Amino acid sequence: MSRSSNVWGTVAVLVMTVGLVPLLVMASDPDPLQDFCVADPTTGVVVNGFPCKPSAKVTPWDFWSGVLKNRGITNNPNKSNVTAANVVNFPGLNTLGISAARIDFDKGGINPPHTHPRATEILIVAKGELYVGFVSTVGANNTLFATYIKEGELFVFPRGLVHFQLNVGKGPALAFAALNSQNPGAQAIAPALFQPDIKDEVLELGFRIDQKIVDQIQKEFRK
Ligand X SMILES: *[C@@H]1O[C@H](CO)[C@@H](O)[C@H](O)[C@H]1NC(C)=O
List contacts with ligand X (CB under 6 A).
72-73, 76-78, 81, 112, 114, 139-141, 188, 191
Classify 4 as helix, strand or coil.
helix
Judge whether 86 is annotated as a binding position.
Answer: no
Alpha-carbon span 84 to 26, nearest angstrom: 24
Query: Which residues, 6 or more positions from 182, have their beta carbon under 8 angstroms from its beta carbon?
Result: 29, 49, 86, 87, 93, 94, 95, 96, 97, 98, 99
Identify the sign of the CA torsion 195, 197, 200, 203. Answer: negative
Cβ 33 to ligand X shortest distance, Å: 34
Cβ 77 to ligand X shortest distance, Å: 6
Judge whether 116 is annotated as a binding position.
Answer: yes
Query: Do residues 128 and 173 touch, judged by C-beta distance below 8 A?
Result: yes
End-to-end CA distance of the chain: 69
Judge whether 114 is annotated as a binding position.
Answer: yes
| 160 versus 191: smaller Cβ distance to ligand X | 191
| 2 versus 141: smaller Cβ distance to ligand X | 141
Q: Using alpha carbons only, how large is the chain's radius of gyration in Å?
A: 22
Cβ 95 to ligand X shortest distance, Å: 27
| 58 versus 110: smaller Cβ distance to ligand X | 110
| 77 versus 117: smaller Cβ distance to ligand X | 77
Judge whether 142 is annotated as a binding position.
Answer: no
Residue ranges for the known binding site for oxalate are 111, 116, 121
Residue ranges for the known binding site for Mn(2+) are 114, 116, 121, 163
